[in-house]
Structure formats: structure tokens, C-alpha cells
A and B are shown apart, each in its own frame.
Chain A
Amino acid sequence: MEGLLPLFGGLFVMLMAIGLYCIIASENVIRIIIGIEILTKGATLALVLAGYLTGRTALAQCLAITLIVVEVAVIAVASGIAVGIFRQNGSLDTSELKSLKG
């Protein structure tokens, strides 16, 4: 059972690194949302892994399902904002969003 901790724990750290790097380095709004999604996947994996290691899979599943529901709401609203930004500016490039500049 504990052999899975270094494997999936390492996967959780790698997913977090990929998501954070994507959020920091991207200039496209959709790609930033993809980074948030990958970060959330890492958090879901950490919850389920913790539940498996402690023998509390039922509680971990409840928390994972709650996290998935929150994730869907975040992605839906963020996608709506992305469409709004595109209609307003004609671009999804964050370097061109200057309406609040100064």
C-alpha cells in the first residue's frame, strides 16, 4: 500500500508543477484555464491518495466529488469570462488586456 505513496505522490507534485508553470508562463486565457484545471487534478489526486493511505476512502471520495463540482463551476464561469474578453477585445492574449492599465 505504501509503495504507491512515492509513485502517486510524485505524480501529484509533477501535476502541480505543470499547472503552476502553465498559469505563470501562458499568455492565452484558455491556456491559463487549462493550467487551473491541471492544478485541480493534482489536488483531487492528493485527496484520493490520502484517503487510500489512511483507509478513509469514503471520506476522500466525498471530498473529491465536492472538488470536482467546484472545478466545474470555476471552469464554466472562467470560460464565460474568456468568451466575454474575446468579444470585448478581439483577442485572448493577456498582454493585450490594457483596459485597466494605469
Chain B
Amino acid sequence: MTIDIIIMVLMVASAMWAVMSPNLLKAAIGLAVASAVLAIIMFRLDAPLAAVFELSVCAGLITVVFVSVISLTRPPEGKDPKPRVVLRRFAFLPLLVLIAAVAFGMLELRPDFSSLPAMAPEAGMRVVLWGERQLDLFAQVVVLLTGVFGVVVLFKERQKGN
């Protein structure tokens, strides 16, 4: 339980650092740390394959994408937002997070899962993914292709504009 609390505090701290940091590069690094901590939480919740995906894709690939976008969109000298402005804008964030946590704690949820239909006990992740969620796989391929074509079209239009 103690380690879960430590992980939770680390996750909230890194997410808030990603949002409140005046420097965008540090914000991207905070986001990567949040992804890594989320991967640890997934391991704790018996989801190791999703954790590996989270660690490799979100903490790795997306951080690289963010760092390249930040380096491509560096504003001219003197146009950087002042850190004080960014911090003032997010001054209410810790209060909001505290209120959200207290409100959730006051709900005292006791869900009853007994009405759910039973599943085969040996249905492993591979069986479910390849046997029952084939439409999801097809949708993933479509989404990935859409993303690739979207990026290609964006770069193509930019070259025409230049």
C-alpha cells in the first residue's frame, strides 16, 4: 500500500510538472516520467503487456515527437512566454486537483461486479486480442494509416507553401 501511495504522488507530481513547467522541453520530460510511472501502475494492476506498450510508445516515441516539434517551433528571441505568466495561469491547478481527490474520496464507491457475465478463466490476452477483438485490430490499422497519411499531407502542403 505504501508503494502505491508513493507511485500515486509521483504520478500526480510529474503530471503537474508537465502542465505547469514554463519550459516546454521540461514539460515533455515530465510527461515521459508520467508515462513511465503509469507503466509501473499497469504492472501493479496485472497488465504487463499494456505496460510495455505504454513504456515504449508513450514514454519513448511520443517524447521524441514532442522534442522534435518543440525544436521545430522554437520562437524567435524575446518571444518566449515569461515563466511568471505561465505559473500565474496554473495557480489554481493544485487546488482543483485537491478538490477532485477529496470529492472522489467522499463518494465512497463500493461497486458490485457480481452481475457481470462470467468469462472463460483461461482466456489469455493473446486469445482475447486475436480471437475476440479482431475489429479493434482492424480499427488500429486504419487509425495508424490515417495518422501516417495525415502527417504526410501536412508536410506536403507545407512544401507547396514554401
Contacts and interface: CB of A to CB of B under 8 A. Distances in A.
B89 to A, nearest CB: 5
B124 interface: yes
Contact of A53 (B4, B12, B113): B113
Contacts of A58: 123-125, 127-129
Contact of B49 (A18, A55, A65, A86): A65
Given A9-B109, A21-B90, A76-B147, A31 B49 contact: no
- The B contact surface, by secondary structure, is helix
B5 A7 contact: yes
Contacts of A80: 150-151, 154-155
Contact of B73 (A37, A59, A83): A83
Given A21-B96, A68-B57, A72-B57, A52 B147 contact: no
A22 B76 CA distance: 24
Given A9-B109, A10-B8, A63-B136, 5 more contacts: A10-B105, A13-B101, A48-B41, A61-B125, A72-B144
